């Protein structure tokens, strides 16, 4: 019977493979050399998907200092890996959520899927999973096998009660096939050539303990399983026995104590309105969710379980090594004094951003910042004072640019700002804010106080002022900066084709 189900799934037209956009996203996710421009191009082919990614980037779940006004900014704000995974999630839900139901309760199915994904993501954050969006996707599609069975054998679930639990579905499947929908779903996803890591997580979703928690796969599968357990309890009856069982599972699977579980539940329930908005669906009545949460937290508080989270020595060593490696890599890119990027890394960034700007036909602005009369600071107050001015200036620049912009020390008292996706007028506003902040910031030293102004040069690669290379863009901004100094300092000069400055 299992072989027959698989054959029907392979040949079924009523349960097709994911849509074209989803398949192209999958292909790009599997290519380590994928550029942001390529992913943006694929996602932008689906206007509804583009809107959802923008909505996520500007949502409370991914709050950033700057609003994303276009798809490229959203991909930068979220990170391409997270953005592409979320886009795939929306695409798959869009493809299958509206499919006609047979024996399954589709409303109940998708409510559980979306809530489980949100809960799993929250447990992943608590457990330190590095890419919570991949975990969200895995939890979202963990029951896709049941959806496939329902489509190709409409009478299979018909004998079960309308409100049958997830456990009841599993028992029914194992009695008929010898396996449950987790194994069938993983097999189906492999037919679609979805990432193997995602297929493996789904296969383990009903038996996560068979994989060691010390492995990323085991840890992620445990988060997915616990997300489903949590949703089943909260959608059912959060009585003492069920909450006690959930707390026991949290401790066993991820070594999460009762207090931390209560905090995670609070965060999860608090995110439900935003999740509903992102998926355009109603998941749970707000008043019921709040009352249910209060009851669950009261029951957790009454428990005496306060075991501290423990992790294996192997996992500790791996995590410490990852942190140490990431720290060393970041230090290699940073200027030792100011903490902003150094000249070597800046050269790499500018070349990459220039290629992306050319390919995506979006603007790229470059700003040279040179402190005025900086030698006098060193001569009058000493080099420690000069260093303090450089550090303070780097902080001021970081404060006026976006989180995704690049700031680097170019050499001596020169800094460079890379503003990707920003045109001339918007870049000018950034420069004016910086000039204003520098004029009003006082640096106090033993024996005196100064205000350190700067001369700024700005060049923008765009349709009106295209540059043939990154080197030409850099040289133009640099010459504009020198023109600002010659014009009296403490000002901005921007590139114009008719001017003599570049």
Please say if the pLDDT value at position 1 is more than 80: no
Least confident stretch, 3-12, 305-314, 364-373: 305-314
Average pLDDT for residues 446-456, to the nearest whole number? 89
- CA–CA gap between residue 459 and residue 365 (Å, rounded): 6
Domain-by-domain residue ranges, the chain? 2-302, 334-494
pLDDT value, residue 312: 43
User: What topology does CATH give the domain 334-494?
Assistant: Alpha-Beta Plaits (3.30.70)
345 C-beta neighbours (distance < 10 Å), count:
17
- The confidence score (pLDDT) of residue 318 equals 53
Confidence of residue 70 (pLDDT cuts 50, 70, 90): confident
CA distances from 65 to 77, 156, 355, 387 (A): 10, 50, 26, 28
The pLDDT tens digits of the residues spanning 238-289 come to 666 777 888 888 888 888 887 788 888 888 877 888 888 888 888 776 555 5
The tens digit of pLDDT for each residue in 380-419 reads 888 999 999 999 999 999 999 998 899 999 989 999 999 9
Q: In the chain, what are the helix, strand and coil shares in percent, each to the nearest 5?
A: 65, 10, 30
State pTM to two decimals.
0.56
List, in order, residues 6 or more apart from 474 with CB less than 8 Å away. 350, 366, 416
The C-alpha atoms of residue 338 and residue 369 are separated, in whole angstroms, by: 14
Confidence band, pLDDT 50/70/90 cuts, at residue 193: confident
Is residue 309's pLDDT more than 70?
no
CB of 230 closer than 8 Å to CB of 119: yes
Q: Kindly report the average pLDDT of the chain as a whole number.
A: 83
Tens digit of pLDDT for each residue in 200-248? Answer: 999 999 999 898 888 888 899 999 999 998 888 877 766 667 778 888 8
What CATH number is given for 2-302 in this structure?
Answer: 1.10.3210.10
Residue 258's pLDDT is 79
């Amino acid at each position: 019977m299992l072989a027959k189900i698989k054959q029907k799934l392979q040949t079924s037209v009523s349960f097709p493979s994911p849509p074209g956009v989803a398949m192209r996203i999958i292909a790009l996710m599997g290519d380590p050399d994928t550029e942001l421009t390529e992913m943006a191009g694929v996602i932008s082919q689906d206007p509804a998907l583009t809107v959802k990614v923008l909505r996520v980037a500007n949502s409370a779940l991914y709050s950033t200092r700057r609003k994303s006004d276009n798809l490229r900014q959203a991909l930068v704000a979220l990170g391409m890996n997270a953005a592409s995974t979320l886009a795939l999630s929306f695409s798959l839900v869009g493809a299958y959520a509206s499919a006609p139901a047979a024996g399954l309760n589709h409303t109940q199915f998708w409510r559980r899927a979306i809530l489980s994904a949100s809960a799993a993501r929250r447990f992943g954050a608590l457990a330190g999973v590095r890419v919570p969006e991949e975990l969200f996707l895995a939890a979202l599609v963990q029951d896709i096998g049941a959806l496939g069975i329902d489509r190709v054998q409409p009478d299979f679930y018909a004998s079960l009660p309308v409100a049958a639990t997830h456990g009841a579905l599993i028992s029914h499947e194992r009695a008929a096939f010898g396996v449950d929908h987790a194994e069938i779903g993983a097999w189906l996803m492999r037919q679609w050539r979805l990432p193997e890591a995602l297929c493996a997580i789904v296969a383990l979703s009903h038996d996560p303990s068979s994989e060691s928690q010390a492995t990323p796969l085991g840890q992620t599968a445990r988060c997915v399983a616990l997300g489903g357990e949590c949703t089943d309890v909260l959608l059912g009856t959060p009585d003492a026995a069920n909450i006690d069982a959930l707390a026991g599972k949290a401790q066993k699977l991820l070594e999460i104590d009762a207090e931390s579980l209560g905090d995670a539940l609070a965060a999860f329930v608090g995110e439900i309105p935003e999740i509903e908005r992102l998926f355009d669906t109603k998941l749970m009545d707000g008043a019921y969710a709040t009352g249910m949460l209060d009851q669950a937290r009261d029951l957790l508080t009454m428990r005496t379980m306060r075991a501290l989270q423990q992790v294996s020595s192997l996992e500790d060593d791996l995590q410490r090594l990852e942190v140490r490696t990431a720290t060393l890599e970041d230090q290699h890119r940073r200027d030792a004094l100011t903490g902003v990027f150094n000249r070597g890394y800046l050269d790499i960034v500018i070349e990459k951003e220039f290629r992306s700007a050319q390919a995506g036909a979006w603007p790229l602005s470059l700003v040279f910042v040179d402190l005025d009369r900086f030698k006098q600071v060193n001569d009058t107050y000493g080099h420690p004072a000069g260093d303090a001015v450089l550090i303070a200036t780097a902080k001021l620049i970081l404060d006026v640019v976006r989180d995704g912009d690049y700031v680097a020390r170019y050499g001596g008292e020169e800094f460079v700002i890379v503003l990707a996706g920003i045109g001339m007028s918007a870049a000018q506003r950034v420069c004016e804010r910086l000039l204003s902040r520098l004029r009003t910031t006082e640096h106090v030293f033993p024996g005196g106080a100064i205000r350190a102004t700067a001369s700024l040069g700005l060049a923008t690669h765009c349709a009106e002022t295209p540059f043939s290379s990154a080197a030409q863009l850099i040289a133009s901004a640099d010459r504009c900066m020198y023109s600002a100094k010659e014009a009296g300092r403490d000002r901005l000069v921007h590139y114009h084709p008719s001017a003599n400055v570049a």
